[in-house]
Amino acid sequence: MQPRITLITLAVADLERSVAFYRDGLGFPTKGIVGTEHENGAVAFFDLQQGLKLALWPRPSLAADAGLPLDGPSATEITLAHNVSSREEVDAVMALALKAGARPLKPAQPTFYGGYAGYFQDPDGHVWEAAFNPGLE
């Protein structure tokens, strides 16, 4: 079986606020919030690269769907990386995120692997890395 990851879902506290952050702040394309007619169904999907989407789902809805108790978030459980093709693009992503309300964690700087990266947290505390890694080109 070949792994096929097509959807990354982030649990969020305020769906409308998070949609605004990703859509308006970072420029991720979306059709907005869908599924509001279903209990625990409200969700927003964002197109990433070919065959991959990001979903935002309210934390209580995700817990209910998975059959798990609702726990508090932990920023260190997952990190998402937005890989770009230059140092300048890293700086641009960091600036967009901070302007949109992200919390800066680590300013963009040279990395040990010869790249350039910085970290920020979205409004729900999810950790994002904006990175240029010449080894991935």
The model carries a pTM of: 0.84
State how far the Cα of 90 lies from the Cα of 115, in Å rounded to an integer: 10
Domain count, the chain: 2
Q: What percent of the chain has pLDDT over 70?
A: 98
Range of the domain at 123: 79-136
Of 66, 88, 109, the domain-final residue: 66
72 found inside a domain: no
74 found inside a domain: no
117 found inside a domain: yes
* Pair (89, 128) in one structural domain: yes
Of 41, 66, 91, the domain-final residue: 66
* Pair (92, 121) in one structural domain: yes
* Pair (13, 62) in one structural domain: yes
User: How sure is the predictor about 130, in pLDDT bands with cuts at 50, 70 and 90?
Assistant: very high
25 found inside a domain: yes
**Domain with 100 in it: what CATH number?**
3.10.180.10
Q: What are phi and psi of 54, to 5 degrees?
A: -105, 135
* Pair (55, 97) in one structural domain: no
pLDDT digits (tens, 9 = 90+) for 85-126: 999 999 999 999 999 999 999 999 999 989 999 999 999 999
* Pair (97, 120) in one structural domain: yes
State yes or no: pLDDT of 46 exceeds 70: yes
Q: What is the SS3 assignment for 42? A: coil
* Pair (60, 93) in one structural domain: no
* Pair (61, 24) in one structural domain: yes
Report whether 110 contacts 64 (CB < 8 A).
no
What pLDDT is stored for residue 2 in this prediction? Answer: 73
Token reading at 121: 């947290």
26 found inside a domain: yes
